[in-house]
Amino acid sequence: MGGETSAIQRVAGKISDDIFSVFKWDRAARADMNWDCCQEAHSKKTHPSDVVFFYIDPYEEEMVYLNTDLKSYAEGTIGKKIVEGALTSL
């Protein structure tokens, strides 16, 4: 993993932990995985996963998983408006 990608992942991991802990989401123990793709329509062999967050949906009482690829975000791709919009939607 390159230096910039490693730094992005480290910062994104810290920020995501700080944000999602407020919502009482947990973080899966396994990280930095490539999951086998089981849908032919994707025409991919794997899907990257840096961190998987999970929580119990309070309405459905079912476990919900959020697969994240934090290294995909480069400097300048996440601005204040984008973060505000994402947090508002949560």
Q: Which residue has the tokens 């998983």?
A: 65
Considering only CA atoms, which of 71, 73, 64, 90 is closest in space to residue 2?
71
Spatial separation of the C-alpha atoms in residues 19 and 3, rounded to whole Å = 24
Per-block average pLDDT, block size 10, for the chain (90 residues)?
A: 62 72 83 84 83 90 86 67 72
- For the entire predicted model, the pTM comes to 0.60
pLDDT at res. 64: 93
Spatial separation of the C-alpha atoms in residues 2 and 46, rounded to whole Å = 20
